[in-house]
Structure 1
C-alpha cells in the first residue's frame, strides 16, 4: 500500500507522514528530500542552478520510482508535485494506493508559515503577513484543482496531529 500525502507547504505532510509511518509500520519518504539526496543539492539550489523544468523532470522520475517500488510507503509530496504535467493522474492510477489532501484554511497556513518563512525560500522574501496570505491564497487557488482530486480530503484546521492520524487510519479502513 502506498499513501500519498498532498497539501500546501506547512500543511503537515512530513510531520504527519512520519508519525503515520511509525503507526502503520510503513516506510516514510519525503519526495523533496529524496530529490535533494539524488541531486546532492537543496531544492532552492536545484531551482537556481538548473531551473524549474529540470527540477520537475527529476521530481517526475522520483515519483515514478516511488510508485514502482514494491514497498508499503507513506509519501509526502512536494506542494507542487500534483500540479505539474500529469503527476496527479499518475498518483490516482497507481495500484494499491490512496491519496490524502491535508487541507488547511489560508489563515492557518499563514500563521504557520509566517513563523518559519526564513527557512522556506519560496516565501522568505515576503515581508509581512498580508503579503504572505495573498501569496498563499493565490497558490491555493491555482493548486486546489489538483489537491481536490485526492481520494480523501481531511480538514485539518481544528485537529491535533494525533486526531489527523486517527482520521487517516479510519478512512483507510
Structure 2
C-alpha cells in the first residue's frame, strides 16, 4: 500500500493509490458498514445474539479501516499542502531578493548618470513600476499562503471532528 519514492518532491511516505482509489475504498467500506447495520438489525430482531456480536465486530473493523483510509487521505493532503506552502515561501523569498538586487542595480545606475535629469526621471519611473509589480506579486503570494493555511486548518478541524465522531460510534457500539 505504501512505497518510498526517491524523486524530486515528496521523499517521505507516499501512497501508491490515487486519491480516487482511496475515496472509492472509503465509499465501499461505508457501504459495507450500512449492510452490516442492516444485518445486525435483522439479528437483533431474530434474537440471534451470536450473529449480532459478529456484526458488531464486523462494523468495528470496517470503521477502523475506513478511519485509517481517511487518515491516509488526510496525510496526503497535508503533504501536498506542506509542499505548496514551501513553494510559496520560496517564491516570496526569491521575489524579495529580486527587489534587493534591482534596488542595488538602480542605485548603481543612477550614480553613473551625471546631469541628465530626464534620463534619471525615466529610470525612477521604470524602477518604481518594476518595484510595484514585485510587491503586488509578493502580496498575491502572501494571500495564497493565507488561503492555503486556512484550508489546512479547516481540514484539521474536520478531521478532528470525524475522528471524534468515529470514536463516539465505536464506543456506542
TM-score bracket relative to the smaller structure: under 0.3
Q: 1 or 2, which has the higher strand percentage? A: 1
Q: 1 or 2, which has the higher helix percentage? A: 2
TM-score normalised by length of structure 2: 0.26
TM-score normalised by length of structure 1: 0.26
